[in-house]
Each structure stands twice: as structure tokens, then as C-alpha cells.
Amino acid sequence: MRRASVALIAALAMSTLIPSSGSATSSSMVTAPSIAPIAKGMTVLATPARWSSTAKSTYKWLLSGKAISGATKTTYVFTTKQRSKSLQFIETATFPDGTSLQGKSNIVTLGQVFVAGELTIDFKDDQHKALKVSSGAMVPTSAKVTYQWFNGIFDIPGAHSATYILTSSDAETEISVQASYTAKGFTTLKKNSNSILIPKTVYNYSLIWSDEFNASATNTVDPKIWVPQNSDGTAFDNQGWGNGERQWYTETQSQIDSSGVLTINAARSGANVFSCYYGTPCEWISSKFVTKGQVGFKYGRIESSIKGPVGQGTWAAFWLLGADIDKHWWPVCGEIDVTELMGGRPTTNYGTLHGIRSGGLGRGGTVEMPNGFSSEFHTYAIDWLPDHITWYLDGVAYKTVEKTDDDWVFDHEFYLIVNLAMGGNFPGAVDSSVTSATTAFDYIRVYSINGVGEVIKH
């Protein structure tokens, strides 16, 4: 007959103390009797109770609630036919005064993996950034354990280790874990842990870089920060800028006014002096500036105050690209769109990530702006941290994307981009009634978040 071992606690209950005679007794039970399987074989071992005074004890075992004939010792050897049945140990103590008390042990289910004690979780460190599992000894010792972490009643995809790294979306929710214990020849045991309410993270922001676009003698962008990308994209092996756009970029279509606002102007007039990739004189001229090779950024809050364009086919953006783009082409380098504002959708703000998996579709969200984005300045921002990116409109968060798979390519240096595109696959063709368009940037500011955030100057 194939041998198997036992059992797990199906319900761990403290022993019940029951007087066994009609007389009152001054004696009491100090510790309850308990039972546990032995690591090998099919033997269950009972640890008798401790009593407050000397007593003579007798024992019996209950199988599925019924006394087992002849089972009067502190060990019990079960058979394979008794698998899946409950087992309990009963101890009756008789004291010198003739009174007696009875104690009941915990209950085990025969044939299941046994795990001593409770499954518990707690914070791994004082920073409250991770949770860890604590579990008792297993019988058999060869049993394997797997984990599934939960946020409330929902399982957390991919969270299967004994440690769980908390994310921003876990704040103010209850986290728990379920462990599954398996061994050959045994019934699987599942145990649920306690739940922990995750506190809300408080963010402290500290300004580490900014461009306020203060007017200079030339009323142009600071060349120590910004580089124009003049072309229809062909000069960068990316004709139409990868989107079928219709403009030629030239820095002459931008200026900084006396109030400290950078304005980019797109126009039909003057565009025909340039020849575009689509085989005719260009239809539009506009401006695009990047901090590539000048200033880079890694993590932190990145925000800008922007007034968007008007008209079908207009497309303003404040965004970032991976600084390794010359080595790892898009989307492997990563793209973070802080905001995209299209005149044909004058009340919708887009915030998007583009990575290896998401590609052109991206991952992110939108938020509606009842009064639109073209009549006044609004603040567009991201909180970019190692495990997530959250988008904000006027200080209100509207979308978070967590680091969950290899689409996350946002752990290295990125550079900033400001531009006003015309036409292309995303906004659609420019309406014939549109003869010019503008977008304006009041400032760009970068903050560290609880000390996380870096400015890289080249």
C-alpha cells in the first residue's frame, strides 16, 4: 500500500474547556491540547494540555466527530481510507478532589498538507514599500508553496512571490495573499492571510529645473537648452515624422514675447519655399524644439502651462523621447506624451505612453475639458516614478499606468520636445478653412518627488 502523510489544519480552533463533572473545580487549563502530523508516515501526534494542578488524563480521538474505538494514546496512525476526514484529540483531566475538565484540540483534515500556525503578511521595511509573507513549518517538508496576492477581492496579475512590491494604485486599499501548499500524494491546502490597509503616499515636490521662457534680446529659445529640428522628418530618416504630417519645421515660426510666453505659429504662407517628402512644395511651416544632447531628465514631476491650437488637423504636443533613440529606435527607446492637443477635438486632452508592446496604440488615457484648451492656459503634468506614471490636468490626476511588463521602457534618460504639427494620421487632414494655428507655452518645470528625479546636463 502506498504510504502518504497527513494533514493540515482545516479549522484551527482553541481547545474548548468543558467541565466533566457536576462539581465546581478550582483547577484550570493553562495551555490547550493540540495535534499535528509527523513529517513522515501517517502518524498524528498530540501534545497534551497543561493544567494548573496535578491531574490524571485520559485521551480519545474523534474521526469526523465520532470516537475511535481503542484510540487512547497521544499518537494516532490513520489509514488511507480515512483520508479527507477530520481528526480531533480530546483530553479529560481528573484532579485529586474528584473534579474533572475536558479540553479539545484543533481539528486537522487527514491527507492534506499541514502548515503550522497562521499565514501572515507584514511590511518588509520601515519605508512601507513592500510586503512579505510569514508561514509556519510544512508537513511534509517537501511541500511546495505558491502565492497569489490580492488587492481587495481582485487578484493582482503576476504577483506570485513571497514578497510584493507596492504600487501607487495600492494606496488606500487592502492587500492580502493566498498561499497554495502542494505535495505528491497530498490534497492541496489553501490558506488566506490577514489583510493590510495600505496608507496613502504623500508626495513632496522640489523644483530642480525650469525654463520660464523669459524674453531675451533675440526673443528666441535658449540655445543651451533647446535645439530646433528643422525638416519634414527626412533629415532624421523619419519622413513625415512617422505620422504622415504635412509641415516643415523651422525655428523662425516661434518667438518669446515680453510676458515670457513661447509661441509656435503654423502657417500656410511661406511654406512653399520648402520641398516636402510628399513630392510637392510644403503645405505648412511650423516649429519643433528638443532638449536632446543638451538637457536630459529621469523621473520626477514634469509640467507645462500650455494654450492649445484651434482648427481641424492642428496638433500641439508636449512630450519626451528616450535619449537612446539613436541606438534603440522608436518605440524601443520609449515615448511619454505629457499632453497632445488636437484642434479637431477641442475638449479632449490625451496622455499616453508608447513602448515595445503598445507601439503606436500606446497606453494611457484622456480627460475632457468642458471649456476646451484653446481659450486659456492649463497645466499639464506627469508624475514619473520607477514603478508608475500618473497624468494630471490642472493638478487633478486622471490616469495612471503601472510598470507591469516589458512595455515599460521608462527607466532611463529622456529629453523634452515641444512642437505644433499639422495634419497626419492622428489628427487627420487639415481643414481647408484653416490658414494658421498657434500654441503657446508659458513655462516648463521639473520637480523631484520625495527626492526622486534627476536632471542630466550635457
Active-site residue numbers? 335, 340
Q: What are phi and psi of 235, to 5 degrees?
A: -65, -15
d(CA 80, CA 341): 70
d(CA 329, CA 331): 6
Between the alpha carbon of residue 214 and those of residues 221, 262, 385, 444, the distances in Å are 9, 9, 29, 11
d(CA 209, CA 227): 17
Which residue has 508608475 as its cell numbers?
Answer: 388
d(CA 299, CA 265): 30
Residue 442, CB-side half-sphere exposure with 13 Å CA sphere: 12
Between the alpha carbon of residue 21 and those of residues 17, 29, 41, 62, 100, the distances in Å are 12, 15, 38, 21, 6
Whether residue 350 contacts residue 320, with contact meaning beta carbons closer than 8 Å, is answered with no
Residues in Cβ contact with 181 at an 8 Å cutoff, skipping those fewer than 6 apart: 8, 113, 115, 138, 143, 144, 145, 188, 189, 190, 191
d(CA 420, CA 435): 14
